[in-house]
A and B are shown apart, each in its own frame.
Chain A
């Protein structure tokens, strides 16, 4: 059974800092990995999708890497801003891959 773990569970940083969020998964036979952002009371917004053949994806200040062999992905956020405050979730397809298995998320707070 695929298990997805995210560390840390919560993180508070001052504005301007670079930071790394971690995601690990137990079954490395994945097709892709997605990072999502969730704001309080809102749905999830897809940030980055990394295919299994890729090692990283970049979008603006966000960079996600994938190391299938070690079962790890990282989300790097450069020059953090208060607007980045949210919960960040990673997810991998499982089984038929129509279903995603999510981690429990990292709750990020960027302070002024």
Chain B
């Protein structure tokens, strides 16, 4: 596609529910990233995929968070037993190159705003 597409744009759920957030990266981008942005803060890294594999998941806050990218394109971020503290904007980004190519310019999606009541 022309840009990084994220769905849903807004999600309101109740505490304890399960949530899935979807990211459709730019076609051909092998690298995909998930970030979380709380109000008034900069984005915080969650997980990075190179192809189908999670190359770095060190930013996932706990085992309630999980992400997959089974075919190396679309990715789904899954949050189990949601808590009010999970409320944030979840941003997805993709890029063509690994960071060490020196051209790691990320293209971000508009984000999925999650509100946990």
> A: which residues have CB within 8 A of B?
4, 31-32, 34, 36, 41-46, 49, 51, 89, 91, 93-105
> B: which residues have CB within 8 A of A?
4, 31, 33, 35, 40-45, 48, 50, 55-56, 58-59, 91, 93, 98-100, 102-111
Q: Are A51 and B102 in contact (CB under 8 A)?
A: yes
Q: Are B100 and A43 in contact (CB under 8 A)?
A: no
Q: Are B108 and A97 in contact (CB under 8 A)?
A: no
Q: Are A43 and B104 in contact (CB under 8 A)?
A: no
> A93 and B104 in contact (CB under 8 A), knowing A44-B43, A98-B99?
yes
B95 to chain A, nearest CB (A): 10
Residues of B within 8 A of A100 (CB): 35, 43, 45, 106
Which of A31, A43, A45, A96 counts the most chain B CB atoms within 10 A? Answer: A43
Residues of B within 8 A of A44 (CB): 43, 91, 93, 106, 108
Q: Are A99 and B56 in contact (CB under 8 A)?
A: yes
Which of B93, B99, B107 counts the most chain A CB atoms within 10 A? Answer: B99
Q: Are B105 and A99 in contact (CB under 8 A)?
A: no
Q: Are B59 and A99 in contact (CB under 8 A)?
A: yes
Q: Are A43 and B4 in contact (CB under 8 A)?
A: yes
Q: How far apart sit A44 and B44, CA to CA, in the bound complex (Å)?
A: 13
A19 to chain B, nearest CB (A): 20
Q: Are B102 and A32 in contact (CB under 8 A)?
A: yes
Residues of A within 8 A of B40 (CB): 104
